[in-house]
Structure 1
Amino acid sequence: MATCTPPQPNANRALEMARRVLRIEADAVTALSQRLDASFIRATELILHCHGRVIVSGIGKSGHVARKIAATMASTGTPAYFLHAAEAIHGDLGMLTRDDVLIAISNSGEGDELLTIVPLVKRQGGRLIAITGKPDSALAREADVHLDAGVAEEACSLNLAPTASTTAALALGDALAVALLDARGFGPEDFARSHPAGALGRKLLTHVRDVMRAVDEVPTVTVDTLIPAALLSITRGGLGMTVVLDADGCLAGILTDGDLRRALEKRGDLRQIGVGEIMTTTPRSIAPERLAVEAVEMMEQFKINQLLVLDGGGRLLGALNMHDLFRAKVI
């Protein structure tokens, strides 16, 4: 049986085509930036004054673009969701209220599904922003605000497949989302609340209490404990230190690996020396409600590897070290 041999790409032609595509799409976005006008300002104002949600709709490739724009807006402070144009005319239009703004995306501006939705949106008082490649299209004419995302040519060598046009529409949606972000004063903390599972969310939303070792996991010794026993306490605790308590069980200080090294260098034999003679009497501490990134900053500032966690009255609640912060992916 004869086997089909898959076509082999011409390496030079493949690179040439790839560069052509990128050049055409880059030119399309550059032209778009130069064409922005007062319509863009009106679109941002319309959304900022919206009392409902932003619904982004499209079909086909424009639908994929619409879904991404809705996701970008939702994660940057503008409540938004995607509505499939075909599903909208079969019941999902009930999601849209008079307080919402609809962003309809269509390169031709003549898609039947979106044009079917428009009068229904207008009838109930909703506002319409159209993103099309044809300013004289039916969708553009019916919109409260039209944003021109037209391109000179598609990057497809047949000038048929949506390529440069979808890139332009997507870039315009990103521009709108970022302009809204800036107008709302949306900051890193707000972004973290929308991305609690991401690296930024971990850094900005993780508190000391979330990563610290509880007080019953923190090794302790008394002021008169001899150094060999204290060394065993440090080893068992895995924090690189042990907390030192006075006769009343109150915090007296800490003994760290560093304290031991410095004392060994100065005094030699430490076997008969009590912890109280070489401990750090004013250990660095942090409150449990502080952010974990603040603990990192303190450790780096003071060149230490561990912190005690104390309440407002100086009572020991726990401790943490740099390894705890690594495990929590705060660093």
Structure 2
Amino acid sequence: MSSKNNASESAIAKQTTLELARDVLLLEASEINALATRLDGQFTDAVALILQCKGRVVVSGMGKSGHIGGKIASTLASTGTPAFFMHPAEASHGDLGMITAGDIVIALSNSGESDEILAIVPPLKRLGASIIAITGNDASTLAKAADIHLSAHVAKEACPLGLAPTSSTTVALALGDALALCVLDQRDFTAEDFARSHPGGSLGRRLLIHVNDLMRTGAQVPQVTINATLSEGLLEMTRKGLGLTAIVDSNNMPIGIFTDGDLRRAFEQKVDVATSGIKDVMHQNPSTIHQGKLAIEAVEMMEQRKINALLVTDDAGVLVGALNMHDLLLAKVV
């Protein structure tokens, strides 16, 4: 009987947990929806101010607001706006020296009365820095002291005790995202611009690495002339280790290709390696890619054509390199 009661209590507890989780998510979502309806000219003024900024955007906040501020600064920096986070307590002990008259400070405080934030407002004004405040209290000291105030007011925290910053931090974070992305849009910031800020990520590799960054060149490129024998082609394939050889004309333009797969088919057809010419077994019109193309385009071409390697040409169609899927895997483009 006790075991059944425990199981029943456990089921009730799990249901209650799920209900609370859903309530938290729905409440925070409703607060973001309410924020969207409240956006006004102050928001567009903030976007315009950041776009006109000749210096950096410095984000500051204490406690949970500081954590949100750090993320906002990171988002701004990665989307084309030079930005960094400054701890307000450290600012009062020397870090204000990082700020110049051309900078904008985004100060976050849900109450708008955080002592550490308010302590740096007068020196910021003396420096000539502009202040954008994000608070949950329109009548707060910080809201009134700022050049622009963005309201992140919430009707209710999602915390069942009404104490832990939850809805308020979510709204502040969403407001920071909206600010950063509107600035991004006004700057005509592109995916390529984003990739340049993220060269170590998969997006950066996909948008920044070109075929000529990865291709084999010079003596590494397997190639024989149209008059070569099949055995000469096989020796070239073996020496270069790419599993293929290009067949080129007198102008060094690729007119054919011979691969490991072609070799297997030649054996199945009992082709005489000693007497056959490479032109008798090669594939004409080989797949090529321009050296200036993105490496990800090489991947897409290989996948579409179900091949493992490509010959690389220049503007004149001359063979300048070769690469295979292994090269792309090593570069983590795939």
Q: TM-score, normalised by structure 2?
A: 0.87
1:269 paired with 2:271, answer yes
Give the Cα separation in 2 of the matches to 1:207 and 1:285. 14
Cα distance, 1:315–1:160 mapped onto 2, change above 3 Å: same
- The CA deviation string for residues 30-62 of structure 1, in whole angstroms up to 9 with x for no partner, is 111111111111110111111111111001110
Structure 1 gap segments, 5+ residues each: 1-7
Question: Measured at CA, do residues 25 and 238 of structure 1 come closer, stay the same or move farther in structure 2, by a change above 3 Å?
Answer: same
Match of 2:142 in 1: 139
Q: Which residue of 2 aligns with 1:188?
A: 191
Q: Say yes or no: does 1:113 pair with 2:116.
A: yes
TM-score by length of 1: 0.88
Structure 2 residue corresponding to 1:179, chosen from 173, 177, 182: 182
Is 2:88 aligned against 1:85? yes
Using the TM superposition, name which of 201-210 and 308-317 deviates more. 308-317
Q: How many equivalent residue pairs?
A: 323
Paired AA for residue 156 in structure 1? C
1:125-274 pair list within 5 angstroms: 125-228=128-231, 230-231=233-234, 233-234=236-237, 237-244=240-247, 253-257=256-260, 259-260=262-263, 268-271=270-273, 272-274=275-277
The reply to whether residue 42 of structure 1 matches residue 51 of structure 2 is: no
- Asked if the contact 1:104/1:128 (under 8 Å) is kept, the reply is yes
Moved more, 207-216 or 304-313: 304-313
The letter for the 2-side match of 1:174 is D
| Cα root mean square deviation, aligned | 2.7
Q: Which residue of 1 aligns with 2:322?
A: 319
Distance 1:27 1:132 in 2: 18
Q: 1:227 to 1:32 in 2, by over 3 A?
A: same
**Quick check: 1:215–1:316 contact (8 Å CA) kept in 2?**
no
Q: Select 1:124's aligned residue among 108, 122, 127.
A: 127
Contact 1:223 1:246 in 2 (8 A): yes
The match for 2:64 is 61
Question: For the Cα contact (< 8 Å) 2:56–2:82, is it kept in 1?
Answer: yes
Identity across the alignment (%)? 58
**2:60–2:85 contact (8 Å) kept in structure 1:** yes
* Unmatched 5+ stretches in structure 2: 1-9
SS at match of 2:174: helix
Match of 1:75 in 2: 78
